[in-house]
Copies of this chain bind each other. A is one copy, B any other.
């Protein structure tokens, strides 16, 4: 028979089992972390009606989207989890209670040009808090705690959450009479780390944006405000009273900083950073980015912010919210590239591989059943192979334990339990064996999937 060559599309991540186990552990911890903060899990279809999904979109989104017809229907695959959330909240508004806190971890699709580290199908892991009409600032203050707790649970140690407030930026540019040029200015200022302040000044005073030298200097002075959170907030206080929006933003920023301690965020994990802007139209309050300290070149690994109108394309209801998103597939790819994945995690399909040595398999099966009842992942290996091949299988899977049941063991009602990492072998009864496995694995089972190299 002619064979079809098997292949997986480029830009689609497909992992081998040990890597998949690490990925699953990350997802499990994300779910756990998000749940602790009172977010409810949500699932929405991957396919939506195009006119619904594209109610707002344009430009890049339209180009990248997977759009097709089936029968008479014009359908599209979701390109993020935010638009489906907006649809969900508008559609089910009457049945939801607000603030509505949901997390969603799911695949989204963008037909980007395929290149290393870019994916066309990738997981996003989002949380959002949606208010009905208004939403208290404490929700914005809580987000850094969630980011901090989540990455800490994943095993990441050296990262920093950088926070700004769009009202502070908007108010500042309004003070200078630059509200209309604020977009161009922020885009230019964004280039600061790459091109330096001289070139930014040149661009700001150039023909296109045409600021005065004074305005450019004032802007450069403003965004160069750095230091501890207290220092930055104190420096910002000097601008107070000149514009209402700025003052409001500064109050919000101060509230966010004030509650960090109670939320359990260590000082060094958090910085007010006036250069963080995050897009132009959508965000209206606190904005967040998160950087790996040793790998700033990767860019933000968790971003988001406060917005005023989640579902304006679907409903007249004003639904303000705050949310963050982790691009999980890309993050996993980067972690693997950097050697940050914890390979001491148990990634084998089983904790114990059971090797029966007799024709009647009942005792081995009963032992497997006993282990499983104790919450241990047990696999029976019953293929007719030589002992050496069986052990080689155990090695390749990376199972932590192998258990042998030969005539001798069965006569004594015992098993020989071998610790595959030490080679140590003990004759134990079923309960003792279960206990030994549970004790040995407790730590490894709860290990974090990320392990940064020591500095």
Contact = CB atoms under 8 A, between A and B. Distances in A.
A17 interface: yes
A96 B14 CA distance: 14
Contacts of A86: 6
B121 A36 contact: no
A362 B263 CA distance: 8
Contacts of A377: 35-38
Interface in A1-20: 1, 3-9, 12-17, 20
A37 B378 contact: yes
A111 B71 CA distance: 9
A379 B101 contact: yes
Query: What's the interface size class on A, roughly?
Result: 35 or more
B262 A379 contact: no
Query: Interface centre among A17, A38, A49, by most B CB within 10 Å?
Result: A38
B16 A92 contact: yes
A372 B149 CA distance: 10
A17 B42 contact: yes
Given A4-B52, A87-B6, A90-B6, A24 B41 contact: yes
A373 B36 CA distance: 9
A84 to B, nearest CB: 9
A291 interface: no
A201 interface: no
Contact of A23 (B39, B43, B120, B316): B43
A46 B369 contact: no
Contacts of A48: 8-9
Nearest to A395: B97
For this chain, the copies found in one complex come to 2
B37 A138 contact: no
B313 A4 contact: yes
A40 interface: yes
A285 interface: no
Contacts of A170: none
A41 B25 CA distance: 10
Contacts of A95: 16
Q: Which of A52, A149, A383 has the most CB of B within 10 A?
A: A383
Contacts of A372: 36-37, 149
Contacts of A101: 349, 379
A55 B7 CA distance: 12
Contact of A88 (B14, B68, B97, B138): B14
A15 B43 contact: yes
Interface stretch (A128-136, A299-307, A334-342): A128-136
Nearest to A142: B380
Contacts of A363: 262
A151 interface: no
Interface in A119-148: 120-121, 131, 134-136, 138-139, 142, 145
25 contacts: A1-B313, A3-B315, A4-B51, A5-B314, A7-B87, A8-B45, A12-B45, A12-B47, A14-B43, A14-B88, A16-B95, A17-B40, A17-B42, A37-B377, A37-B378, A38-B349, A47-B109, A68-B69, A102-B349, A138-B361, A142-B380, A259-B362, A259-B365, A261-B362, A262-B362
Given A1-B313, A39-B349, A149-B372, 16 more contacts: A5-B52, A6-B90, A6-B315, A9-B73, A12-B45, A20-B42, A20-B43, A36-B375, A46-B46, A66-B75, A101-B379, A134-B384, A138-B365, A142-B380, A258-B362, A262-B363
Interface of A: 1, 3-9, 12-17, 20-21, 23-24, 35-49, 51-52, 55, 66, 68-71, 73, 75, 86-88, 90-92, 95-97, 99, 101-102, 107, 109, 111, 120-121, 131, 134-136, 138-139, 142, 145, 149, 258-259, 261-264, 311-316, 348-350, 353, 361-363, 365-366, 368-369, 372-373, 375-384, 393, 396-397
